[in-house]
Chain A
Amino acid sequence: MTAEALLRAVFQALTASAGGRRENWAAGSPLTVLTPIAPGRLEELGEYFGQLRGDERSPLADVPETHLGRWVIIDRLRNPDRPQALGSPHLLFSAIYDGELDGYLESLRVRMAAAANTIWGCCIGYPGTGDAESFPRYFREARLPADMALAAYPRATAEEVRSSLELQKKLLDFAMKAQDKTSDRELHAAYHEERGKLFEGVDGRRPLHRRYSDRVTEPGCDPPEHKPRVTGPTPHRPPRLELDDIQGNVVRSYGLDHACFTFVRVGPGGAEGGRAFLGELAESVPDARERRPERPLNVALTYAGLDALGVSPEVLETFPPEFREGMAARAEEVLKDLGQSEPARWDKGLGDGSAHIMVSLYAADKPALEGRVRELAALIERRGLERIHEQPAAVLGARRDVNTGRDLPPGREHFGFADGFGQPMIHGVHDWPPLLPDVSPEYAGQRPIAAGEFLLGYEDEDREIAGLSYRGAREAQAVRDIGRDGTFMVYRKLQQDVARFRRVIREATATWGLRYGYDEEQLAAKIVGRWRDGTPLMRCPDRDGPSTEHDRHASNDFFFSEDPDGFKCPLGAHIRRAHPRDGIAFGDNLTRRHRLLRRGMSYGDELPDDTEGDRSDRGLIFICFNASVARQFEVVQGWLTDGNAFGLGHDPDFLLGAADGRDGKMKIQGERPFFLSPLEPLVITKGGEYLFLPGLEALRRLAANEWGWAEEGHRP
């Protein structure tokens, strides 16, 4: 900040008091009014606002100069230092309006008369809307001038905002139609046919941004500036991880090709059987010290499972809300599992509250896995439990791709893209990336993530200890113990429609791709952000560049801030959404707390290259570990289902499709940009659960009922 800027600011603040009153901005001025509520009228006011809640139409909708508005009831003051009771409750009204203050108040008086009389009629001294003089005086007298106010678009009126949004929608529709026009003449004719409709209601054709003052803000949608790539504090020293207490597979993958996930239910009154089952398993779960354990498995519990095993209500309370609600409850609002993906259509046993314990078995080959699955089934039966869902999965084997003639490595997903090498590194487990000849020095600065982002009981990226919320809990010690060395696990069964994916790519290539210079492979790579062998577009935007296949470091040695316009890797590409790196505003400072340890695997047989229309069930078992499902998994899912963070409006990931009927296009940025039109989902959620994967000691104590919860009569 320069001295000049400071001086100018002081000067402007001084002159503002003399002449340039903030109320006289022509667009987006704040009006804040604080009025005392008359004795005994608070209830009435509360009832009125309660009714408004059910009513979709807000009284402010009748006042077209309003951008935003709110009423807040200030019913008490919170001051732990010097508590003070409020003489009377107050009503705070705050609006952002266009035009002169007098004009706006007149508009309120005339257009919103009934509501105004009901609302402020409960306040002391309100004169009613009858008199054109006393009404504005009342508001002017109760008005609080803003001490500081910042706006993102201070020069646009509400009407301009609305009409511009409308124009944007129509223009986009036209642009998508226009890219189908094969000749200039057709395009020309189409534009002139639609021109009238496009600009209908768009005001005056004058430049939008009028200048009033130098006060803040141009549009806030500029591409992010190129910021330093590695920011924030570096943890002092590696944490000492209790590897002998952490379940295997968490900090390092078991690295095996076959798995089976079994969901078990503890019947009513079966808590004892459930604990005995858990006890037997707990003894055989490998800890994180063993790199290649003989009988690898994991045990995790749902919230219903913890409850069924007799964990006390007070301890259950300390688990985070998203875990307690469960994945199905958050499917519609948070995860956007809509339409074909809605929980009502999920596989039996997933998301319906019946799953309690989840056992994951891993093996190197299929026969070995089948043997262990049989053993587990016998154990489940012996303990009187119910097997409610079973899901085998496997790493897809190596094969040759007929499109490219290249050998595809094992570890792909069904669409044919290499997977499983994009993991974050964990501080205290992985070394800092090595300085190798083929990775950039910046990559070497990409440091491992704090262990507390993935394991409870350790410092996270904010230097807070990750864990359950035990403060104030009576059983604080138990809460700490049950969380220690545990992690939250997200399990999702994602069905992939491979035939449709191939058809969509082929058709899009034929319709637009070739005209814009993309063949099938290039278009598929643009949608995902990587070539099929895993080479990132950021490193190799053209197909003929060097492959980074088999090199985990080189495959992750790239940054999105170098490509703010998405010319190399589209802004909406799958990998750019799932892990934006430094590609959103403020770089990795805002993405580092939203990382996932993925441990997924494919299920179902691979669809041969030349097969059409095979709809048999295949896809991905998505599994990830994180310390906070809401902060990590759900935020990443939000990036996939809504493009706003990337300046893409509500566009979802192209692979997820437009499940909720909103926008679903994908923009392929470039010298000649074009759009892929919305389509049916290519990936459908078939079920899932939020689970807790406890540390080994916690698992043993839970099984042995050492906390004695069940005896204390918590359970009926």
Chain B
Amino acid sequence: MTDAEGARPGAAIGPPERARPTEERGGWGAGEPQENVRDTAHALTTLTPIRPPWDLFLRPLLRVCQYLPHDEFRLLSFIHYVQWIVIGDFPRRTRSGGLLGAVPRRLGALVGRAPKHGPGQRLHYPYILFESNFNGDFASYIEAFSRVIPERMKLIWGRGVDFPGPQPTGPFLRYIRANEYVAAHYYSAYPEATTTMVCSALELKRRAVEFDGRARGLPPSQFAAEWRRFLRAAEHWL
């Protein structure tokens, strides 16, 4: 197994990366490995160790947080999809979703089943698997996390090994970079569209369909008025 000093995990099978002078740098201007990118869509995959017994709290916490309102997330309008998974074994024993499935592994040997395939391995520390699909620049993305929702970052990664805290942005960026796995292959069904574009297209479609229903059979003058009303209402999404 490659464990070359300084190389990013996962990069072992990839081509030589673009000039990246040092892990010390914040990541602005460094460019992305092309495997992580499909046009405007970017993949981020990190696996970060956390000190036990924080996982006892973390998993139920995440599962409850799932159902809390996430207004900031809504405004972080460049994220298509993110997920967090806490892993204690490799591969992790299968459990159900919801709070009951979050029973920690030390208590939950009864609940969980041993992996069917492969050796299976108990990890010294639990790990957080974080996956994000976003658009735009990697550094801007991490900056937004760091500046907009620092408390949540602290809550989730607060007990992470070497976690420098969400602010300032520089060290946080380096932490993410150091724990990142470059994708072997990444795919998006609509790579040219950013999250904002998808959301506005969906909203526009809803309004356009409504408009079309209202406008059916109207005489030209009323139709024109209806069209102008539609334009006025939908201009934000057009």
Q: Kindly identify, within residues 58 to 84 of chain A, every residue whose CB is under 8 Å from any CB belonging to chain B.
A: 58, 60-61, 64, 66-82, 84
Give the contact stretch, choosing among A218-226, A396-404, A440-448, A596-604: A218-226
Residues from chain A with Cβ under 8 Å of B76 in the complex = 220, 585
Which residues in window 103-143 of B have CB below 8 A to A? 115-121, 123-125, 127, 129, 131, 133, 135-137, 139-140, 143
Q: How far is the CA of A317 from the CA of B143 in the complex (A)?
A: 24
Interface on B for A, CB 8 Å cutoff?
A: 1-3, 9-10, 12-15, 18-22, 24-26, 28-31, 34-35, 40-41, 43, 45, 47, 49, 51, 58-60, 62-70, 73-87, 90-92, 94-102, 115-121, 123-125, 127, 129, 131, 133, 135-137, 139-140, 143-144, 147-148, 161-162, 167-170, 178-179, 181-190, 193-206, 208-209, 212-213, 215, 219-221, 223-224, 227-228, 231-232, 235-238
Q: How far is the CA of A279 from the CA of B197 in the complex (A)?
A: 54
Structural contact, A209 and B74, CB atoms closer than 8 A = no
- Whether A12 lies near B102 (C-beta < 8 A) is no
Q: Is A320 positioned at the interface, with any CB of B under 8 Å from its CB?
A: yes
C-alpha gap A66/B129 in the complex (Å): 21
- A164 on the B face (CB < 8 A): yes
**With an 8 A cutoff between CB atoms, is A205 at the interface?**
yes
B77 touches A469 (CB 8 A): no
Q: Which residues of A contact B102 (CB under 8 A)?
A: 147
CA distance A209 to B203 in the complex (A): 9
Q: Are B161 and A80 in contact (CB under 8 A)?
A: yes
The reply to whether B220 and A9 form a contact with Cβ atoms under 8 Å apart is no
**A-B CB contact pairs (8 Å), 29 listed:** A9-B64, A13-B66, A23-B97, A34-B91, A49-B35, A53-B35, A61-B187, A70-B131, A71-B183, A75-B9, A75-B12, A81-B162, A87-B119, A96-B81, A144-B87, A147-B59, A148-B62, A158-B190, A160-B205, A165-B197, A168-B204, A172-B238, A187-B223, A208-B202, A219-B203, A221-B203, A321-B20, A590-B143, A672-B231
In contact, B125 and A13 (Cβ under 8 angstroms) = no
**Segment of A494-502, A607-615, A631-639 engaged in the interface with chain B:** A631-639
In the assembled complex, which residues on chain B have CB atoms less than 8 Å from the CB atom of A671?
232
Which of chain B's residues have a CB closer than 8 A to the CB of A322?
A: 28-29
Chain A residues closer than 8 Å to B167, beta-carbon distance = 462
Q: Are A81 and B79 in contact (CB under 8 A)?
A: no
Contacts of B67 in A (CB 8 A): 8-10, 12-13, 16, 213-215
Cross-chain contact A52 with B129 (CB below 8 angstroms): no
CB of A321 within 8 A of CB of B199, answer no
Q: Which residues from B are CB-within-8-Å of A321? A: 18-21, 25, 29-31
State which of B81, B168, B200 has its C-beta within 8 Å of the C-beta of A219. Answer: B200
Q: Does A631 lie within 8 Å of B139, measured CB to CB? A: yes
Residue A368 CB within 8 A of the other chain: no
Is A543 part of the binding interface, using a Cβ–Cβ cutoff of 8 Å? no
Check if A71 sits within 8 Å of B81, measured CB to CB.
no
B29 touches A629 (CB 8 A): yes
B232-A72 in contact (CB<8A)? no
B100 nearest CB across to chain A (Å): 4
Q: Is the CB of B144 within 8 A of A590?
A: yes
Interface size class on chain A is: 35 or more
A371 in the interface (beta carbon within 8 A):
no
Of A138, A151, A158, the most chain B CB neighbours within 10 A belong to: A151
Q: Are A70 and B183 in contact (CB under 8 A)?
A: yes
How close is B214's CB to chain A, nearest CB, in angstroms? 12
Determine if A46 and B184 form an interchain contact, defined as CB atoms under 8 angstroms apart: yes
Taking a contact as CB atoms closer than 8 A, the residue among B24, B64, B65, B95 that contacts A145 in the complex is B95
Please tell me if the beta carbons of B208 and A167 are within 8 angstroms of each other in the complex.
yes
Most A CB atoms within 10 A — which of B9, B194, B201? B201
User: Contact at A184–B221, with CB atoms within 8 Å?
Assistant: yes
- Contact B10 A73, beta carbon cutoff 8 Å: yes
Those of A154-189 within 8 Å (CB) of chain B: 156, 158, 160-165, 167-168, 171-172, 175, 178, 183-185, 187-189
Say whether A149 faces chain B, with CB atoms less than 8 Å apart. Answer: yes
Chain A residue at minimal CB-CB distance from B60: A13
Q: Which residues of B contact A224 (CB under 8 A)?
A: 75
> Does A216 count as interface, using CB distance less than 8 angstroms?
yes
Q: In the complex, what residues of A have CB within 8 A of residue B66's CB? A: 9, 12-13, 16, 147-150, 215
Whether A35 pairs with B74 at a CB distance below 8 angstroms is no
Distance (Å) between the CB of B237 and the closest chain A CB?
Answer: 7
CA A630 – CA B131 in complex, angstroms?
25
CB of A513 closer than 8 Å to a CB of B = no
Scoring B15, B78, B131 by chain A CB atoms within 10 A of each residue's CB, the highest score goes to: B131
- By a CB distance below 8 angstroms, the chain A residues around B178 are 78
Top 4 nearest A-B pairs (CB, nearest first) are: A17-B98, A630-B29, A125-B117, A36-B118
A191 interface contact, C-beta 8 A = yes
Contact of B123 among A84, A89, A199, A207 (CB under 8 A): A84
* Known contacts A61-B187, A69-B186, A164-B202; is-contact A144 B85 (Cβ 8 Å): yes
Partner of B148, one of A46, A178, A208, A590: A590
| Residues from chain B with Cβ under 8 Å of A1 in the complex | 68-69
What separation, in Å, do the CA atoms of A353 and B152 have in the docked complex?
Answer: 46
Could you say which residues of chain A place their CB within 8 Å of the CB of B144? 586, 590
A466 (CB) vs chain B CBs: closest residue: B170
A13-B98, A58-B187, A187-B224 known; A219 and B202 CB under 8 Å?
Answer: yes
**Which B residues touch A78, using CB under 8 A?**
9, 47, 49, 178-179
Q: How far is the CB of A129 from chain B (nearest CB, A)?
A: 16
